[in-house]
Amino acid sequence: MSEKELAAVHAGAGGRRLLLGAYFDFIRIRFLTMLAYRINYYSGILIYTLNIGVNYFTWKAIYGGGDSIGGFSGAQMTTYVAVSWMARAFYFNNLDREISNDIRDGSISIQFIRPYNYVLVKMMQGLGEGMFRFIMLMIPGMLVAILLFPVHLPSAPSAWIGFLTMLFFSFLINSQLNVITGLSSFFVENNEGVMRMKRVLVDLFSGLIVPITLFPDWLAGVLKVLPFQAITYLPGSVFTGRVQGVGIWNVLGVQVLWFALLMIPMLWMYRAARRRLFVQGG
C-alpha cells in the first residue's frame, strides 16, 4: 500500500472517530441543557410521586381484602405502579415534537445537509435527556416512593441486571416510535393528532396505567404481538418478580426483536423523507 493510500486510510479512520465523538457530544450537550432547567425536574419528582400515590390508593381500594388481581398481589401491584411511573421518567422524551417542529419551521433542510445522520443525532439527544432524567428524576423519585409506599425491591442480582438492561431498550423502542411519529409529518403535513394518539396508545397499551394481564383476553392477546408491552409491562414484570430466571432473558429477547423490527420503518421513513423534503414554511 502506497503512502498516499495509507494517509487516506488514516484520514478516514480519524474522520470516523471525530464523527463518533460528535455524536457523543450531542448526549453531553443535551444533558447540560436539561441541567440548566433542573428546577422543572424537582417539580417532576413531586408530580410523579403524586401519580404513584393516586394509583396506589386506587388499586388499594380495588383490591379491598382480595389477595390478587390478574396475577398481581397487592404488594406486586404497588411495586409495579411505582417502578413503571419512574421508568417512564427515563424513557419519556419529545423527539416526535422536536422533529415535527424542525419540519414545520424548515430547519430540517439544514439538518439533512450536515455531515451526520439526523435520526441518530435525535436518538443521542434523547439519550442525553434520558440520562439526566434517570439521575435527577427517576432515582430520587424512586427513593421518595420507597419512603412513602410499600415498594418491595428485588433481591436477585439477575432481576436488577435484567431490569436495567430492559429499561435501556424501553428507551430505544419508545424513541423509535417517537422518531417514526415525528417523521410522519413529512407525509401528513400536520401530525399533531398522530402525536397525541401515539402518546395515549403508549401510556395505555404499554401497561403503564393498567397491567396488560387485566385487559380482556382477546385484547391482551393482540397487545402481545405489538411493541407497546416491551416499553413498560415487561420491565415491570421483571422488577416485581413475576418473571424470573431464564424468563428474564426471554422477555429481553422480545425487546431486542422489537428494536430490530422498528428499525425497518424508521429507516425507510427517514430515507423517504430525505427524498421528499417538503418543508412547510421553508
When pLDDT is cut at 50, 70 and 90, the band that residue 13 belongs to is very low
CA atoms of 172 and 167, how far apart (whole Å): 9
Cβ–Cβ < 8 Å for 179, 123: yes
223/212 Cα distance (integer angstroms) = 8
Residue 116: pLDDT band (50, 70, 90) is: confident
Q: Residues 265-277: pLDDT tens digits? A: 999 999 888 776 5
pLDDT of 247 strictly over 90? yes
Q: What is the pLDDT of residue 16?
A: 58
Do residues 75 and 150 make contact, with C-beta atoms less than 8 angstroms apart? yes
Instruction: Give the pLDDT mean for 162-182.
Output: 96
- Using a CB cutoff of 8 Å and minimum separation of 24, what contacts does 201-205 make? 201/228, 202/174, 202/177, 202/228, 202/231, 205/229
Contacts of 205 (CB under 8 A, 6+ apart): 212, 223, 226, 228, 229
Count Cα atoms within 13 angstroms, Cβ side, for 92. 18
Question: Rounded to the nearest 10 degrees, how much is the dihedral formed by the CA atoms of 242, 248, 254, 257?
Answer: 160
Condensed to tens digits (0 to 9), the pLDDT of residues 58-108 reads 998 988 877 788 888 888 999 999 999 999 999 999 999 999 998 888 788
- Mean pLDDT across 120-132: 94
Residues of the chain with pLDDT > 70, as a percent, come to 89
Q: In terms of pLDDT, which residue wins out, 13 or 17?
A: 17
Only one residue has cell 411511573, namely 85
